[in-house]
Amino acid sequence: MDDDTIAFGEEDETSQNSNKLKHPYVTMFHLAFRISAIIAYMLCGWFSNSFITSFVVVVLLLSMDFWTVKNITGRLMVGLRWWNYVDDNGKSHWVFESRKGVQQNRINTTEARIFWLALILCPLLWSVFFVVALFSLRFKWLLLVCIAIVLNGANLYGYVKCKMGNDKNISAATSDFLRKQVIQNVASMMTRSPPTGNSNEPTNVI
């Protein structure tokens, strides 16, 4: 069984440094590539009329962001890692890992908050770009936006699985959430007071 207790003296260090970035350069690169890709996509028409040039620049930034988040920032900032390997039989295996015990308790809360906010907000922003490009009939940009959604979504899906565990844990968490919602709705219906009649209505009593 893993020991989740923090060694004597380390709890003070953890509480004091919880608001300070433990890996400032890693945090910077976690944000730099994905923000640069978004800015390049939004402003590429101002600096270049070539779609190929804009496409290559944005894809390069997205690729660097995908590699950095998958292999470096996730491991250092939140203690999570996902990867893939092929066995001798040619079968592909996906592995989702997370730190446990004392190592998990040492994760910086500020870095973890920055990591998850960037990981969630950027795919949502690319989804907005997808809707805008679709309704503005800019079909050639849809391919670029789809690449961004796939790369950002892959990291989001991988780290959510690392955080939640395997499929059984995810389904169990979903079932618990739905069960709580049903219980709350039933309880509110049972405790709701019946509607009272209007006392000002005339009666048949003379």
Look up the pTM and report it: 0.68
Q: What is the pLDDT of residues 75-130, one digit of tens each?
A: 999 989 898 888 888 888 888 888 775 555 578 889 999 999 999 999 999 999 99
The model's confidence at residue 51, banded by pLDDT at 50, 70 and 90, is: confident
Q: Element (H or E) spanning 98, and its range? A: strand 92-98
Average pLDDT over residues 163-171: 60
Q: What is the pLDDT of residues 28-44, one digit of tens each?
A: 999 999 999 999 999 88
Residue 183 has pLDDT above 60, yes or no: yes
Lowest-pLDDT range of 88-97, 139-148, 196-205: 196-205
Q: What is the pLDDT of residue 176?
A: 59
Q: What is the pLDDT of residues 8-19, one digit of tens each?
A: 234 334 444 556
Instruction: Give the closest residue to 72 by CA, choosing from 17, 122, 14, 33.
Output: 33
Helices (H), the chain: 10-16, 24-47, 51-68, 74-77, 102-105, 109-135, 139-164, 167-191
* Signed CA dihedral, 118, 121, 122, 123: sign only: positive
Whole-number average pLDDT of the chain: 78
